[in-house]
Amino acid sequence: MKYSRVTEAFEELEETQKNLEKTSILAKLFQESEDELEEVVLLTTGTPFPAWKNMDLGVSSKTLVKIISKATGRTEDEVEQAWKEKGDLGLAAEKMVEKKTQQRLFTGELTVEKVVDRLEKVAEMEASGISQSVDQDKKQKELAELISSAEPREARYTARIIINNLRLGVGEGTIRDALAEAFFDGEHAEDIQKAYDFTNDFGEVAEACKEGLESVEELELVLGRPIKSMLAKKVETIEEGFEEVGKPAAIDYKYDGMRAQIHVVDGDVTVFTRRLENVTEQFPDAVKAVEENINADNCIIDTELVGYDPEDGGMIPFQKLSKRIKRKYEIQKLKKEIPVEVRPFDLIYLDEPILERPYSKRWKKLEEIVEEEKESVRLADHRETSNEEEVSEMQQQSLSDGHEGIMMKSLESEYRPGNRVGYMVKLKPVMETLDLAIVGAKWSEGRRSDWLGRLFLGCYDEEKDEYKEVGKMATGLTDEQFQEITGKLKPLITEEDGRKVEVRPEIIVEAEYEEIQKSPNYSSGYALRFPRMKRFREDKEQADTLQRIKKLYQDQS
Ligand code: ATP
Residue 326 pLDDT: 78
Q: How far is the CA of 557 from the centre of ligand 1 (A)?
A: 27
47-162 folds as DNA ligase i, domain 1 (1.10.3260)
pLDDT 10s digits, 523-547: 999 999 888 888 889 888 889 999 9
For this structure, is 320 an active site residue?
Answer: no
Q: What is the residue with the minimal CA distance to atom 31 of ligand 1?
A: 254
Determine the residue of 245, 254, 435 to mutate for testing ligand 1's pocket, defined as the one with the most ligand atoms within 8 A of the Cβ atom.
254
DSSP 396-459: HHHHHTT--EEEEEESS----TT---TTEEEE--SPPPEEEEEEEEEE--GGGTTSEEEEEEEE
Question: Per-residue pLDDT averaged across 429-444, rounded?
Answer: 86
276 pLDDT band (50/70/90 cuts)?
Answer: confident
Establish whether residue 379 lines the binding site of ligand 1, counting it when its CB lies within 6 angstroms of any ligand atom: no
pLDDT, tens digit (0-9, with 9 covering 90-100), for 138-171: 899 999 999 999 999 999 999 999 999 998 989 8
Tell me the pLDDT tens digit for each residue of 204-231: 999 999 999 999 999 999 999 999 999 9
Pocket test for ligand 1, best of 304, 401, 434, 545 (most atoms within 8 A of CB): 304
Three-state SS annotation for 482-500: HHHHHHHHHHHEEEEECCE
Q: How far is CA 328 from the centre of its chain?
A: 20
Phi, psi of 526 (to 5 degrees): -130, 155
* Domain coordinates in residue numbering, the chain: 47-162, 233-427, 434-556
Distance 232 CA to ligand 1 centre (A): 7
Distance CA 187, CA 164 (A): 31
Record: fold of 434-556: OB fold (Dihydrolipoamide Acetyltransferase, E2P) (2.40.50)
As a residue count, the chain comes to 557
**Chain centroid to CA 363: how far?**
28
Q: Which residue's CA is the closest to the ligand 1 atom numbered 26?
A: 254
How far is the first Cα of the chain from the last one, in angstroms, to the nearest whole number? 54
191 lines ligand 1 (CB under 6 A): no
Residue 52 and residue 200 in contact, taking contact as beta carbons nearer than 8 Å? yes
Q: Is the pLDDT of residue 105 over 60?
A: no
Q: Tell me the CATH number for domain 233-427.
A: 3.30.470.30
CA-to-CA separations, 189 to 41, 43, 416, 461, 462, in angstroms, rounded: 16, 20, 16, 21, 17
pLDDT value, residue 430: 59
Looking at the CA of residue 426, tell me the nearest atom of ligand 1: 13
Contact 513, 530 (CB under 8 A): yes
Q: Is the CB of 259 under 6 A from ligand 1?
A: yes
**The predicted structure's pLDDT at residue 104:** 54
Question: pTM to 2 decimals?
Answer: 0.77
Q: Is the CB of 474 under 6 A from ligand 1?
A: no
Asked if 526 contacts 553 with a C-beta cutoff of 8 angstroms, the reply is yes
Measured between alpha carbons, how far is 205 from 220 in angstroms, rounded to an integer? Answer: 11
Of 254, 335, 468, 540, the catalytic one is 254
